[in-house]
Structure 1
Amino acid sequence: MERAVITGMGVVSPIGNSLSEFETNLFAGHHGIVPIDHFDASDMGVKVYAPVRDLGASRTIPENELRRLDPYCVFGLLAARQAVGQAGLRGHVDPYRLGVFMSSGLGGTETLLGEVETMRQRGPRRVSPLLLPKWIPNMIAGIVSIDMGAHGASISHNAACASSAVSIGEGLRLIRHGYADAVICGGAEAIAQKVVMAGFQNMRALSTAGDPDRASIPFDRERKGFVLGEGGAAIVLESASHAGARGARSFGEITGYGVTSDASHITAPAADGEAIVRSIEFALREANALRPESGDEPIYVNAHGTGTVLNDRTEATAISRTLGDRALVSSTKSMTGHLLGGAGAVEVIASVMAIRKGLVPPTVGTAQIDDDIDIDIVTGAARRAPFSRTLSLSLGFGGHNVGLVIDAPED
């Protein structure tokens, strides 16, 4: 059985469009949440979001190509290029042994909404022939495959907010069973449109706080929901034998993947949290079969941690049941907002960085932990701790639950 190591990472996010910028802001506790400034929000309860800033995509993607891509594909493509560049993968892998598992929750919503408006004002003959290829959520995998010349499996996994976590887990399985030497895994989202925010607002999922510093506060007794973010992230998963043969550096290893379904409700997590518990247990069992650990060392848990009342309470209970006092927990969404389909990949990268630095990034803005939350939430500032394993949790509408175990690279 092949092991799957991480040889490259890339990120485009509200707290940085490069690995170095993202890492600096992650551990310094600098969030990217700002007042809504791209549409009139005076009739909305939601006042803040977490956008990608100063991307400068035209510096690396020609304008004629940019016009053919929805922003979600741009975010994903640039993140994938970073990851492949760090891995030094181009020209060093059989293209038919290189897969692309890049995902999105909603796909090209900006394109869809723009073309709906075009048809309303100018009629159906003026709708762009690029509507479908810019809109469909699988195009992120297609675009990255084209850009990288990857002829292996090219698939998008749609599991709402767990989409990119599923892509990483399925990439792990592709490598484990010998179907690929490397897989570019991740996802992206660009859905900061008014109608999308209105939909989330009206289901009472989005934070209505006006203060950016207190808008995304997972596990806090005053939490009111999540802040919508945008961006993308990608990792290169590579078989340990292939990476070793070409002398590639390993930043970490995905050792466990657990995936379950609540089979309960279209948006709310099942109250008993049993399916989340099982996803954690499955991931840890798989990881321990590959890399047994003593049971004394803390485990850093990068929680799904949206800041909604039900998610945080149910997730915290599941973490407590499975890991007890060993869990050191934080939520990256307190800084990036919720990147939906891109969230899982961003949080795996944050987990890798945490292992490498021996630091748990803080849950920024969270001040008073809810009385119903009985786990160790790292707040205020990053905390140094002796851990070599992390657990990244991703939960999605529809009852999708994913646990990914990331271990420090072997010497």
Structure 2
Amino acid sequence: MSGTKVHGVEVKRPDGTNRVVITGMGALTPAGAGVAAIMDALLSKTCAIGPIERFDTSDQDVHNAGEIKGFDATAHGLTKKEAHRFGRFVQYAFVAADEAMAQAGIDMEAEDATRFGVIFGTGIGGIDSLQDNFFRLHDKGPKRVNPLFIPTMIGNIAAGNLAIRYGMKGECLDVVTACATGAHAIGTAVRDIRHGYLDAALAGGTEEAVNPICIAGFANLGALSKEEDPLKASRPFDVDRAGFVAGEGAGALIVESLEHALKRGAEPLAEIVGYGSTGDAYHMTAPDPSAEGVRRAMADALAEGGFTPADLGHFNAHGTGTHANDVTEAKALLALCGEEGGREVPVVSIKGVTGHMLGATGAVEAVVCAQSVAGSFVPPTTGFSTPDPECPVNVLTEAKTDYPQKVALTCNLGFGGHNAALAIAPYDETR
């Protein structure tokens, strides 16, 4: 394609659309602040799940969670006003986004702000504010409800406040697909850039759901692990798994067209080569046991990148530790790659370290997946020890190193039947 090279690098795909790369990543997880913290915890199999400290759980059935313990927003560069006014999910998003912006070297003064978007989601939003103000209304009457209750609680305010923080005036969206939120936000940003609606975007997800009403609701639904030992509470793909552990945090990525990245002198960290998004149309909370919707999302993501299942280096699974989720994902992988091939693909879930960060999990997992393909390794799955015959896949108990990969998949499923898959490859300027 004539005229589609920058510094000698082809910046367009064969169909003429834009290649999309990651140039910055940030994370805040129960393992600590920063991408390095979550990667160190994963590789050392350090479980960050523990007894809930934020509120009294003596009358709850569940006592463990993946909390951001001792979080002080001002210690992470937020002002006292921001710490007072913004819900935790917005504060978490700021911390992750600040890291991603710094790594990418974004100078908004040099950018066309109308071409820089924010696609940042949350599964539940400001649940702390919602709960607090219900109590105020009930106990003290309507005049005592916080006048900032609505703009503190609504889910889109994370995206809105991020746009205000950095002066980004392109498309500004809050994608909400429960536990698939983070992956769908990133995928939406990729499509916007792929087809020329944006040059770059801040994309990701955030969640503050370690909260009394959330823990009670998920526990009464039968979704949460009631295991008292934090080290055994989250056990993805293990035969003794007994539900997920609630977590919280945020993940953020700077994604941009390769053309835009190279012209501003940025270093691509990895390339998002494909995105698949499907719906099960099956059940309000349970995944379709046929796994057909998940398989299609995975296949679509690989195909968009020009890859086949035989190219798959590893699978970063949703891997919640619930019986239905893990069986469904195992079935999807075997259907995608064939029984023999599917049993060989290395599989990892990060939820034995962090718990399930709901709307943030897909974004953090995209960060982990990008780090893994760029560094030629696959992390192990903390909490997994005994294989489940119903999940006959290659779940790693130790890190796989010195392992170059063509492409990897990270996949997320959400209540309502939402499936999202991102295909992430090492950046190769000759692609």
Cα distance in 2, alignment partners of residues 358 and 54 from structure 1:
34
Match of 1:102? 120
Letter in 2 for 1:238: E
State the identity %. Answer: 39
- Counterparts of 1:144-155 in structure 2 under 5 Å? 144-155=162-173
Cα distance in 1, alignment partners of residues 281 and 37 from structure 2:
39
Q: Does the Cα contact within 8 Å between 1:228 and 1:339 map onto a contact in 2? A: yes
Number of matched residues? 406
Letter in 1 for 2:319: G
| 2:66 maps to which of 45, 50, 61 | 50
Does 1:322 find its partner at 2:336?
yes
Match of 2:40? 24
Cα distance in 2, alignment partners of residues 101 and 147 from structure 1:
14
Does 1:124 find its partner at 2:123?
no
Q: Deviations over 1:165-189 (max 9, x none)?
A: 1110010000011111101000100
Structure 1 regions of 5+ residues with no counterpart? none
Structure 2 regions of 5+ residues with no counterpart? 1-16
SS of residue matched to 1:228: coil
Q: Give RMSD over aligned pairs.
A: 1.3
- C-alpha displacement of 1:372: 0.8
Letter in 1 for 2:80: E
Letter in 2 for 1:285: A
- C-alpha displacement of 1:357: 2.3
Q: Does the Cα contact within 8 Å between 2:276 and 2:420 map onto a contact in 1? A: yes
Cα distance in 1, alignment partners of residues 335 and 285 from structure 2:
23
Letter in 1 for 2:61: G
- Counterparts of 1:177-196 in structure 2 under 5 Å? 177-196=195-214
SS of residue matched to 1:20: helix
Cα distance in 2, alignment partners of residues 20 and 311 from structure 1:
28
Out of 393-402 and 22-31, give the one that drifted further. Answer: 22-31
SS of residue matched to 1:360: coil
Q: Does the Cα contact within 8 Å between 1:4 and 1:175 map onto a contact in 2? A: yes
Cα distance in 2, alignment partners of residues 74 and 110 from structure 1:
13
Match of 1:268? 286
1:362 and 1:21, CA in 2 relative to 1: closer, same or farther beyond 3 A? same
- C-alpha displacement of 1:298: 4.8
Match of 1:160? 178
Q: Deviations over 1:139-174 (max 9, x none)?
A: 010000000100100000110000111110010000
Match of 2:89? 72
| 1:111 maps to which of 129, 132, 141 | 129
- C-alpha displacement of 1:47: 1.8
- C-alpha displacement of 1:334: 1.2
Match of 2:98? 81
Q: Does the Cα contact within 8 Å between 2:182 and 2:362 map onto a contact in 1? A: yes
Cα distance in 1, alignment partners of residues 137 and 59 from structure 2:
25
- Counterparts of 1:9-408 in structure 2 under 5 Å? 9-59=25-75, 60-90=77-107, 91-288=109-306, 292=307, 298-323=312-337, 324-379=342-397, 381-384=398-401, 385-408=403-426
Q: State the TM-score, normalizing by the size of structure 1.
A: 0.96
- C-alpha displacement of 1:81: 1.3
Cα distance in 2, alignment partners of residues 410 and 53 from structure 1:
39
- C-alpha displacement of 1:361: 0.9
- C-alpha displacement of 1:38: 2.4
Cα distance in 2, alignment partners of residues 177 and 227 from structure 1:
38
Letter in 2 for 1:310: A
- C-alpha displacement of 1:56: 3.1
Q: Does the Cα contact within 8 Å between 1:217 and 1:307 map onto a contact in 2? A: yes
Cα distance in 1, alignment partners of residues 57 and 72 from structure 2:
26
- C-alpha displacement of 1:27: 1.3
Letter in 2 for 1:313: V
- C-alpha displacement of 1:193: 1.1
Letter in 2 for 1:41: T
Letter in 1 for 2:170: G
Moved over 6 A (4+): none
Letter in 1 for 2:79: P
Match of 2:10? none
- C-alpha displacement of 1:121: 2.2
- C-alpha displacement of 1:297: 5.0
Out of 370-379 and 142-151, give the one that drifted further. Answer: 370-379
Match of 2:24? 8
